[in-house]
Structure 1
Amino acid sequence: MSADESKGPGLVPNLVVLQSRRQPLDAIFAPRTIAVVGATEQAESVGKTMLENLLGNPFGRTIFPVNPHRAEVLGVKAYARLADVPEPIDLAIVATPAAVVPEVIGDCASAGVRGAIVVSAGFKEVGAEGAELERRVLEQARRGRVRLIGPNCLGVMRPFNGLNATFARRMALPGGVGFLSQSGALCDAILDWSLRENVGFSAFVSVGSMIDVGWGDLIDYLGDDPHTQCIVIYMESIGDARAFLSAAREVALTKPIIVLKAGRSEEAARAAASHTGAVTGNNDVLDAAFRRCGVLRVDTLAEMFAVAEILSKQPRPRGPRLAIVTNAGGPGVLATDALLKAGGELAHFSNETMATLDACLPPPWSRGNPIDVLGDASAERYTQAVEAAVQDRATDGLLVILTPQALSEPTRTAESLKAFARVEGKPVLASWMGGADVAAGVEILNRAGIPTFVYPDTAARVFHAMWRSTYNLRALYETPTSTDDSHDTALARAAAEAVGAAVRGEGRTILTELESKRLLDAYAIPTVETRFAHDEAEAVEVANALGYPVALKLASETITHKSAGGGVRLDLPDADAVRHAFAEIATAVRERAGAGLGAFQGVTVQPMIRRNGFELIVGSSLDPQFGPVLLFGSGGRHVEVLHDWSLALPPLNTTLARRMMEPTRAYAALKASQGRDLIDSAQLEQLLVRFSRLVVEQPWIKEIDINPLLASREGFLALDARVIAHGPEVREGQWPRLAIRPYPTQYAVPWTAPDGTALLIRPIRPEDEPSFIQFHERLSEQSVSFRYFHAMKLGRRVAHDRLTRICFNDYDREMALVADYQDPATGAREILGVSRLMKQHGRNEAEFALLVVDRFQGRGLGTELLRRLVQVGRDEGLDQINADILPQNRPMLLLCKRLGFSLVQKPGDDVVRAILDLRGSVKAPARP
């Protein structure tokens, strides 16, 4: 059967995207006809400047001024209304007063205009009245499917096709950087800087208020754009977080995305109910979000463009180890300090490299890294040292520093370095320090593609930023270990939901300790045995049964921090101590200001745990932009003081769990003690994955933390847990949305073949990569040819880089269903088939693909997989599903026809297009 289980036009020749079909944003970036609504000859006006810019760079486009009061503008015939323009309009530029913009966009919708840029100001930035105008503008745009940039923006430049749809006075140079900015004023400054520094752009976009076209749309468009080599963003707000993360994750693997996000110094938002809420802030969450999608965050404008330049010229480093070659000790030390402070590493050379350096350098050389070639170093000495350093396997990148001294040769040395402009997997940077003496050398290096820096410490920091980008991207596509699913996940989910339903049914938001631990037990997170006692006598009875010493804690439905105000008593050695502690807790709570009904219901009793180990915290709280955010770090009573934590967005797999823990001192301590105390970090990864699933599957939870989570050689144990539920004002179904769509369990359903073979058809998982190697090994040449339209060797089909892209699905963009078979005799699992929907950028359509292993073809599996894929398309609200199929692949053509697809083959085409129109289908409710 014809099929695919991959993505990307380069790998999917039987699912070719028709290049003749224009993307919706082409109306903005590549318009053939443009109307300027508000065009005028008034001096220094936006309408005049916009029209002048367009007329000055027509590039074959037709420009139509629209002004009801003039017969012509700047010598060009004008029209009173858009409806009067005699040709269909691709792009409308709106430069009218804000009050009339809704009417103008309504005219665009009626006239079939597909794109609009609203440069007008006076919207939500001026208050409620302006926000209402924005709502009406968006309403009109959606009525006519008009894609809109703005309002309150500078506009759009596309240097390669001469489009200057801005009111900036000069045109940007063509180049490989796609620049997106929320600040129009910053756009002006960057444009001036770029013209001085000869920096070119593939697109230059001022996004304004982003009421329609947002970051995700623009990243997708530039990701497909052949002129764009990297994307640079100045961001003030995230907008649609899920759309941004989804687009960035897909594009960042092939095109670097660098973000300068304003607001690091803002006061972080604080939540009062849990430790997790108290220690997380908006800035930390943004860092976690950017790591999750492979985006590189920088701190300054200079660093933003420096990183962009390097990533467009040099390869990403494979590791953090930098080799430094310098003719002066001081600059080498400066670079070293900057590198280590940023978190990078110096390369440690092998004995062979040290012998080579000894042979080519004078005896006084530094005999280490940085390699000090001394102040009288010739170009030849530099070349020999650089060659030795770059060939060492321990080197991941190279920084060459030159300071002009009496015997130095900056120009000749630069010429000699041209041979190292492209070293596979190892970026080469240079710092030629000085002014006129080194200017010629700097020019030589830049032309050769070796980025240069005035200061070596800047270069070292930029190298480490490049490595951070690589490291974050690896996490996205590193095959995780399989998650422990030994417990019944359906039962776990049901048990946890029952706890939430009971609490919310009573109108409460705070779970008792017993309820909180019941919640953790449902997801196989070990908890210390805990029992409830209403009064002193019952507390003594429970303590006697558990064994001394014990701990007593306040049981309350209204007080979340039990330790504050005397709600906890530890190390109680006997019954008298228990009676005394019970009375103290009861008295303290009753005297506590504001303690009301439900504040004291009794106590919980649990044994004191005598283990040598580490106190950790694991938690989740809500971010207003990204929804639930996970936390891991050092726990205990001083969690806020220790300030040792890391954040991540759910859902997690084992790789992401490990990456979440790695920045913390707590994890370093765990790893250091692993061999001695046998603390199992892999077990902790699994625990975090289960905790992540709890947060994902129980959206009624507003905040939760386990503090402390005791880690010891005996395992992991939750000693205390605190859970806050959403209040009654948040109704079921209105829970905050996850920033990353979780595993779509609703599409996992058993199926039995006509011959009785039982399968589970479910969405694909990253852990499926090893199974796909076996899957490809069992395909015939004919199946491979139908799939690729030509033969493809097994080694290429099962390459790790390719299979990770196949198995790591962004379920918002792609949905692959696999037929999972488990041999009842051996328990071995096997994938027998796969079907996939791949959404097309900018259109509410998807291409489908289908492949069944040869030995299971003709047994109904292909029909079932495609039938379910069609239902997924309906559930996801798609308008159309399509695919290109070889004419000789008759089984696939017959299957499509049987399921209602139209089959179309245009004269001269060597493929048949199968199309299924889903418009009118019932759409599913909003996704979680």
Structure 2
Amino acid sequence: MSTPDDAAITPAHDVLRSTRSDLEPIFSPRTVAVVGATEAAGSVGRTVLWNLLSSPFGGTVYPVNPGRPNVLGVKAYPTVSSLPEPVDLAVIATPAATVPGVVGECVDAGVKGAIVVSAGFKEVGPEGADLERRALEQARRGRMRIVGPNCLGVMNPTTGLNATFAAAMARPGNVAFLSQSGALCTAVLDWSFQDQVGFSAFVSIGSMLDVGWGDLIDYLGDDPRTRAIVIYMESIGDARHFLSAAREVAMSKPIIVIKAGRTAAAAAAAASHTGGLTGSDEVLDAAFRRCGVLRVETIAHIFNMAEVLAKQPRPRGPRLAILTNAGGPGVLATDSLIQFGGSLAELSPETIAELDGFLPDAWSRGNPVDILGDADPDRFARAVEVVSKDRNSDGLLVVLTPQAMTDPTRTADQLKMHAKLGHKPILASWMGGTHVAAGVDILNRSGIPTFTYPDTAARAFAAMWRYSDALRGIYETPAETEHDGERGVDRASAEEIVRAARSSGRTILNEYESKRLLAAYGIPTVETVVATDEKAAAEASGRIGYPVVLKLHSDAIAHKTDVGGVVLNLADAAAVRAAFRSIRESASKAGVPGDFRGVTVQPMVRPPDGYELIVGSSIDPQFGPVLLFGTGGSLVEVFRDRALALPPLNTTLARRMMERTRILSALKGVRGRPPVDLGALERLLVRFSQLVVEQRWIREIDINPLLASHSGLLALDARVIVHGLDARAEDLPRPAIRPYPSQYVEPFTLRDGTRTTIRPIRPEDEPLLIAFHETLSERSVYSRYFQAMKLSTRVAHDRLTRICFIDYDREMALVVSRRPTEPGRHEILAVGRLSRIHGADAAEFALLVADPYQGQGLGVELLRRLLRIARDEGLRLVTAEMLRNNRPMQRVCEALGFRLRYDPDDEVVHAEIEL
């Protein structure tokens, strides 16, 4: 007999599908008003109106002009409020000063979306920025969405909507193009006609007063006509929303960005090493890697990649096989491949033997596979068939050069049967002009992307691999680490250290405080004793054991070596006393004698197999805290061997960060030196990232050097800069990626007395979820998914990544876990999920309890906590669906305030609650 909390329910998929996106009125309006429509030749208002009238989208167009009875022969209206019916979309082309009032009038008239093509806003200075603020305030009164201002407008080529002042309408296709530059939009539009490129959407986004990259990526991610999203970006806007949306969509649709304005460091060097090493463009690369966005350098390349990724699968590795009828192009392709991060596949002996069976004796007998200039279509086709099956390759590039005996058209016709190689992409380079045009057309129509030059094709493959590798890194299951709230972290102590420093008016923690802060997060630090006089220094040195290091103890001096504040390798008490006097004198000469608070005494730690590393963080103006890892020591700025990443990290992301540095090769062991424990280093980076996102008053922090050796990891020196007393909590930079919501970690005791923890899910939970699914009965599975589902399907990695690797801004999944009585993994007993509905302050929930733990109150408690989280996250509505025969779950919903809706013709019961 089931109890109320052991039933499972499924998400309200139909509710999600029926929820109309708040951008739908902009892309698919039924009625459009052109505010500022006019007949003045060459005016924006006239051009927009004409484009809407001459590219029928199936709706009604209303000119709004108080000074004319009609515009272009169409009846005009003096105001939006005087229109004869409600309007979905208003295109506003009036002077900037009038726009806030027009937006307010649109809101009062119930207009759902607006495109402001007018210029004269923040791009002209503070007065324009104030106009934007006032316009947005008006829009927020009615939840109306705005594209622009200062933009070209929006096209939906599929429906025929042309709400722009461009000279022509884009061709329909499956690539969405988004741009901050209206001028670039017109240039790309002209180019697209020549190259016959079509678009599912063509958007000039302008200065992003309201609708930003994240909104558009969300909308186009749900659009079945869009297969790839191409972006020309000048500024990031809402970084968290962009990364959140891109990460969700990139797994199913490639997002390709060209970013204008590569710059040097975004800020001048500050008191820490890290502050001088991060820069906006380098951080942007790290952000794109974190969300699976592919960054390219040229307009041509961006559309090449959109075509390639839309037609061919992503490679599983970097190894490319090149097949050509001429040696030179193969060499060019190889150089380009390696330059951009790919590698040349080493053909297996079996492949070479099979090729030997039918290729001329003079063939290259390696990769590139040169099948010689007299290759006919049959030789090409047979060689492609053999090479494509080689187990050592991850992709294939076929190069044809037009020679006297070459038949480009017939060869392409033979090749098209190999357009699908399973998980391997196939690319082609048919070199030449009109002679190869027919073959190029055959290949393109069959789904094989073609390139005029082989080096361009090889570069495209390398970019495909980088894109694939970035996605794999994002969703690779990390190693299990200690769960939040358990051993190794003392947040209270860390907060007190920072609070005490700020309360005293300081922004720089002294070395002793900095190391205590690291220790509070389980980061090993060298023993450090503060000594205020010579005698205390000598006594401390004797207790620690010689040799020792003395360092200046100061609340104001950040770089102690710059003022002679560090003395190494002191072998006895006399040397320690002399060093103490020397440091005190150096501090006096530096002009801060009153800030001399003594010295710190530390053991001299320099194992012969050790490496000096740096781990740090500083604030980027766009993305908030940014992490740095690389080669450390006094020459850190000289070597500049570093990698950046956005916090928070898991062990997989930490390893990927390490892999982008040259020092990693040494850490693995070199020239007889034993390797460093890389797993321990990964865990240290994870803890460091946790410190950075949890202690938000920290502005900059670095550990330099972090000594890494076979015997362990040790922070020898640390520097921390905090925000001053003038900083407000609400103004502190927030991480671009929402960190683990530890506030939702709470204990819960089952009815039988079993102690558990209810906490948000983690990527590390994937193995635990596999074990969880193994406990489920067919009844529970059917109740949850409304159908039978095999275990192998439920625990597939691609599926579980969507469940475990969640964006806490978009959904919240809670698991009930308990520590096993015997040593081993934690065990998951139940899962509850709350998923936001795009474009609405609403979410749908789902629950599933393992059969052995049903009847213990878990379902009720999970739902209660999900509703509390929904309120905390600002949601207004929570919905769900459940089977009609699932009466226990229906009773739970009713007890917690849900309204149930029954349809006599449907087996599904709909539940909802307003919060």
TM over 0.5: yes
Structure 2: unaligned runs, 5 residues or longer = none
Paired residue secondary structure (2:225): coil
Cα distance change on mapping 1:21 and 1:807 into 2, 3 Å: closer
Does the 8 Å contact 1:35/1:89 carry over to 2?
A: yes
1:765 aligns with 2:762: yes
The reply on whether 1:797 has 2:794 as its aligned counterpart is: yes
**Partner Cα separation in structure 1 for residue 822 and residue 373 of structure 2:** 74
In the TM superposition, 1:87-126 aligns within 5 A as 87-126=85-124
Aligned partner of 2:631 in structure 1 is 634
State the Cα distance separating 1:488 from its structure 2 match.
4.2
* Cross-structure match for 1:188: 186
Q: Which amino acid aligns with 2:809?
A: D
Shift of 1:18: 5.2
Question: Is this contact kept in 1: 2:265–2:277, CA < 8 A?
Answer: no
Q: CA–CA distance in 1 between the matches of 2:429 and 2:640? A: 37
5 Å-filtered alignment, 1:416-435, equals: 416-435=414-433
Q: How does 1:722-733 map to 2 (within 5 A)?
A: 722-733=719-730
Structure 2: how far apart are the matches of 1:898 and 1:548?
A: 70
Q: Is the 8 A contact 1:259 1:295 kept in 2?
A: yes
1:168 maps to what in 2?
166
* Cα distance change on mapping 1:171 and 1:531 into 2, 3 Å: same
Partner Cα separation in structure 1 for residue 865 and residue 95 of structure 2: 51
Equivalence for 2:223: 225
Q: Would you say the 8 A contact 2:669–2:676 is kept in 1?
A: no
Instruction: State the distance in 1 between where 2:52 and 2:567 align.
Output: 76
Which amino acid counterpart does residue 256 of structure 1 have in structure 2?
P
Contact residue 14 and residue 886 of structure 1 kept, 8 A: no
Q: Check the 8 A contact 1:4/1:836 in 2, yes or no.
A: no
Amino acid in structure 2 at the alignment position of 1:203: A
Q: In structure 1, what is the Cα distance between the partners aligned to 2:128 and 2:238?
A: 21
- Who is 2:155 aligned against? 157
Match of 1:922 in 2: none
Partner SS for 1:729: coil
Q: Please, which of 742, 746, 763 is the counterpart of residue 743 of structure 2?
A: 746
In 2, are the aligned partners of 1:172 and 1:200 still within 8 Å (CA)? yes
Residue in structure 2 matching 1:858, options 848, 855, 866 = 855
Listed one character per residue, the Cα deviations across residues 623-647 of structure 1 (whole Å, up to 9, x for unaligned) are 0111111111011111111110001
Deviation at 1:787, TM superposition (A): 1.0
Match of 1:868 in 2: 865
Q: For residue 375 of structure 1, what is the aligned residue in structure 2?
A: 373
Match of residue 600, structure 2, among 598, 604, 621: 604
Conservation of the 8 A alpha-carbon contact between 1:4 and 1:849? no
Match of 1:263 among 261, 264, 276: 261
1:286 maps to which of 280, 284, 287: 284
d(CA) in 2 for partners of 1:56 and 1:266? 46
Q: 1:154 to 1:626 in 2, by over 3 A?
A: same
Q: Displacement of 1:535 after TM fit?
A: 2.2
User: Which residue is 2:331 aligned to?
Assistant: 333
What SS does the aligned partner of 1:360 have?
coil
Residue 780 of structure 2 corresponds to which residue in structure 1?
783
Consecutive unaligned residues of structure 1, counting only runs of 5 or more, are 919-928
User: What SS does the aligned partner of 1:337 have?
Assistant: helix
> Matched residues in 2 for 1:666 and 1:493: separation?
32
CA-atom RMSD in angstroms = 1.9
Aligned with residue 552 of structure 1, among 550, 553, 566: 550
Q: Is the 8 Å Cα contact of residues 270 and 281 (structure 1) preserved in structure 2?
A: no
Give 1:303 shift.
Answer: 0.9
Distance of 2:735 and 2:825 partners within structure 1: 34
The answer to whether residue 275 in structure 2 is matched with residue 248 in structure 1 is no
Q: What residue in structure 2 maps to residue 774 of structure 1?
A: 771
> SS of the residue aligned with 1:160?
coil
CA drift at 1:406: 2.3
State the match for 1:142 in structure 2: 140
**How far does the alpha carbon of each residue in 1:48-95 deviate from its partner, in whole angstroms, 9 at most, with x for none?**
111111111233201111110111111111111111001111001100
Asked if structure 2 preserves the Cα contact closer than 8 Å seen for 1:674 and 1:680, the reply is no
- How far, CA to CA, are the matches of 1:57 and 1:315 in structure 2? 36
Residue by residue, what CA displacement relative to the aligned partner does 1:25-45 show, whole Å, maximum 9, x if unpaired?
Answer: 101001001111001111111
Which is further off, 440-449 or 666-675? 666-675
Q: 1:815: which partner in 2? A: 812
Write out per-residue CA displacement over residues 797-829 of structure 1, whole angstroms, 9 at most, x where no aligned residue.
Answer: 111111121111110001011111234466663
Q: Distance in 1 between matches of 2:570 and 2:454?
A: 61
Distance 2:60 2:264 in 1: 47
Instruction: Output the amino acid matched with 1:503.
Output: A
Distance 1:189 1:361, change over 3 A: same
Partner of 1:482: 480
Q: 1:541 and 1:75 mapped to 2: Cα distance?
A: 97
Q: Could you tell me which amino acid in structure 1 is paired with residue 782 of structure 2?
A: S
Whether the aligned pair in 1 keeps the contact of 2:265 and 2:276 (CA below 8 Å) is no
Q: Compute the displacement of 1:690 (Å).
A: 0.9
C-alpha distance in structure 1 between counterparts of 2:5 and 2:153, whole Å? 42
Amino acid at match of 2:600: T
Q: What are the Cα deviations for residues 570-604 of structure 1, in whole angstroms up to 9, with x where unaligned?
A: 122233332332222222222225x3642x21111
In 2, the alpha carbon distance for the partners of 1:879 and 1:279 equals: 43
Q: State which drifts further: 900-909 or 548-557.
A: 900-909
Asked if 1:841 corresponds to 2:841, the answer is: no
**8 A Cα contact 1:5 1:834, kept in partner:** no
- Which deviates further from its counterpart, 788-797 or 376-385? 376-385
Q: 1:828 to 1:655 in 2, by over 3 A?
A: closer
Which residue identity does 2:236 align to in structure 1?
I
Q: Which aligned pairs between 1:295-314 and structure 2 lie closer than 5 A? A: 295-314=293-312
**What is the CA-CA distance between 1:487 and the residue it aligns to?**
8.8
1:336 and 1:460 in contact (8 A); partners too: yes
Amino acid at match of 1:686: R
Moved more, 764-773 or 144-153: 764-773
Distance 1:263 1:890, change over 3 A: same
Question: Could you tell me how far 1:735 is from its partner in structure 2?
Answer: 2.2
Distance (whole Å) between structure 1 residues aligned to residue 245 and residue 129 of structure 2: 27
**Contact 2:531/2:540, CA 8 A, preserved across alignment:** yes
Deviation string 1:806-858 (CA, Å, 9 cap, x unpaired) is 11111000101111123446666321211110001111100111111223223
Deviation at 1:21, TM superposition (A): 3.5
Instruction: Give SS of 1:228's match.
Output: coil
Counterpart of 1:618 in structure 2 is 615
The TM-score with structure 1 as length reference comes to 0.96
Q: Distance in 1 between matches of 2:183 and 2:731?
A: 38
Distance (whole Å) between structure 2 residues aligned to residue 674 and residue 121 of structure 1:
64
After TM superposition, the structure 1 stretch with the greater mean CA deviation from structure 2, 27-36 or 416-425, is: 416-425
**Other structure's SS at 2:146 match:** strand
Paired amino acid for 1:358: D
Which moved further from structure 2: 505-514 or 570-579?
570-579
Q: Cα deviations across residues 276-325 of structure 1 (Å, max 9, x unaligned)?
A: 11111111100000000000011111111110010111111111001111
* Paired residue secondary structure (1:17): helix
The answer as to whether partners of 2:55 and 2:169 remain within 8 angstroms in 1 is no
Give the deviation of 1:793 after TM superposition. 1.4
Q: Is the 8 A contact 2:5 2:859 kept in 1?
A: no
- Structure 2 residue corresponding to 1:364, chosen from 362, 365, 369: 362
Moved more, 443-452 or 805-814: 443-452
Change (3 A) 1:78 1:44: same
TM-score of the pair, normalised by structure 2 = 0.97
Instruction: Give 1:537 shift.
Output: 2.5
- In structure 1, distance between residues paired with 2:46 and 2:103: 20
The offset of 1:723, in angstroms, is 0.8
Q: Distance in 1 between matches of 2:438 and 2:397?
A: 19
Whether 1:516 and 2:518 are equivalent positions in the alignment is no
% identical aligned pairs: 65
Q: CA deviation at 1:379?
A: 1.6
Find the residue that maps to 2:668 and give its secondary structure. helix
1:735 to 727, 732, 744: 732
Aligned-partner residue type, residue 275 of structure 2: G
Q: Which residue number corresponds to residue 74 of structure 1? A: 72
Shift of 1:193: 0.5
Aligned length: 912
